[in-house]
Amino acid sequence: MTFWDRFADTTFWDRFANTTSTSWDRFADTFLNTAVMAKYLPDIIDGFCLTVWLAALVVVTGIAAGLLLAVVRSLGVRPLNWLIIFIVDLFRALPPLVVIVLLYFGLPSAGFLPNAFATTWASLSLVLMAFAEEIFWAGITAVPRGQWEASRSTGLTFWQTLNSVVLPQAIRLTIPPLTNRTIAITKGTALGSVIGLSEILSQASSAMSLSFNPSPLMLGAAAYLILFLPVVVLGRWIETRFAWHR
């Protein structure tokens, strides 16, 4: 059979059409099963709300702690700076999942009984703090020395200079990298599922086990998109906005 004959043979094409249609049905039944989805939607919504709350907390505490460390580092006290660099490098090197597992299974032996929410919150905050500190510190050192000198020469104190002259410029520089890093670390809320935190992924996988159907996973993915897509778009908007004003 020549190539042209095969091309003209309609039964050859029917075969493709048939397979496509049957496997699509199977796929839809497995991953987009509306009955299963409807049943477990409330669970996914619960997980969604918990994830939003956790993510917001991580962003606030992580960035605040990172800024605080960067400000303390700018004081230039040697032993303090070594300590800060050690902590920051430690939490930048450790995978967030390892931090979560270590805290969750390690704290009970230290006398604390952590719950999954607090552990995930603390772990991700520490990791975000470490990265935010480095980004803020880079921003502070990027402000020219002449800015400090001009301000100090008019009688402003170290703290007034930091607050009114240096940080406003430093933070403007740090917005784009900080936005990216914040999004990356906040998505780590899904790691809480490992220690039984009932966030989106955990709700979705237990729903999958109960229903013997992975459709809840698709629902979970959609929930993540609904949560993080606006954040990503907001991040892009912030980046362009702050880029103009330079």
Partner 1 sequence: MSSPILEARGVHKHFGALHVLKGIDLAVAERELVFVIGPSGSGKSTLLRCLNRLEEPSSGAIIIDGIDLLDRRTDINHARRRIGMVFQSFNLYPHMTALGNVTLALRKVAGKRRAEADAIGGAALARVGLADRADHYPSQLSGGQQQRVAIARAIALEPRVMLFDEPTSALDPELVGGVLAVMRELRDSGMTMVVVSHEMGFARAAADRVLFMDDGLVVEAGTPAQIFTAPREERTRAFIGQIQRH
- Least separation in angstroms between residue 245's CB and partner 1 is 8
90-128 in b/e form (b: 16+ CB < 10 A) is ebeebebeebbbebbeeeeeeeeebebbbbbbbbbbbbb
The CB-of-140 to partner 1 minimum distance in angstroms stands at: 14
> Closest by alpha carbon to 242, among 154, 149, 178, 152?
178
Which residue from 147, 198, 205, 206 is in contact with partner 1, where contact means CB under 8 A?
147
The distance of closest approach from Cβ of residue 81 to partner 1 in the complex, given in angstroms and rounded to an integer, is 20
CB of 160 to partner 1, least distance (A): 5
Q: Which of 17, 21, 146, 244 binds partner 1 (CB under 8 A)?
A: 146
Residue 20 interacting with partner 1 (CB under 8 A): no
Does 156 interact with partner 1 (rule: CB under 8 A)? Answer: yes
* Nearby residues of 37 by Cβ (< 8 Å), 6 or more positions away: 215, 216, 218, 219
Q: Is position 149 an interface residue for partner 1 (rule: CB under 8 A)?
A: yes
Q: Which stretch binds partner 1 (CB under 8 A): 68-76, 125-133, 155-163, 193-201?
A: 155-163
157 near partner 1 (CB under 8 A): yes
Tokens of 189: 């809320």
User: Do you know the residue count of the chain?
Assistant: 246
When asked if residue 242 is in the footprint of partner 1 (CB under 8 A), the reply is: no
**Pair 46, 198: CB distance under 8 Å:** yes
Please give the DSSP secondary-structure letter assigned to residue 162. Answer: I
User: E-assigned strands of the chain?
Assistant: none
Q: Is 76 in the site for partner 1 (CB under 8 A)?
A: no
Task: Closer to partner 1 by CB, 111 or 155: give it.
Answer: 155
CA distance 39 to 211: 9
Give the relative orientation of helices 34-74 and 78-93 as an angle to the nearest 10 degrees: 160
Cβ 73 to partner 1, closest distance in Å? 22
Q: Does 164 bind partner 1 (CB under 8 A)?
A: yes
Q: Which is nearer to partner 1, 79 or 155 (CB)?
A: 155
Answer yes or no whether residue 153 interacts with partner 1 by CB under 8 A: yes
CB of 90 closer than 8 Å to CB of 130: yes
- What radius of gyration do the chain's Cα atoms show? 26
State the maximum Cα–Cα separation within the chain, in Å, rounded to a whole number: 93
Stretch that binds partner 1, among 22-30, 165-173, 174-182, 201-209 (CB under 8 A): 165-173
Directed axis angle between helix 78-93 and helix 116-142, to 10°? 120
* Residue 155 interacts with partner 1 (CB under 8 A): yes or no: yes
Binding site for partner 1 (CB under 8 A): 144, 146-147, 149-157, 160, 164-165, 168-169, 172
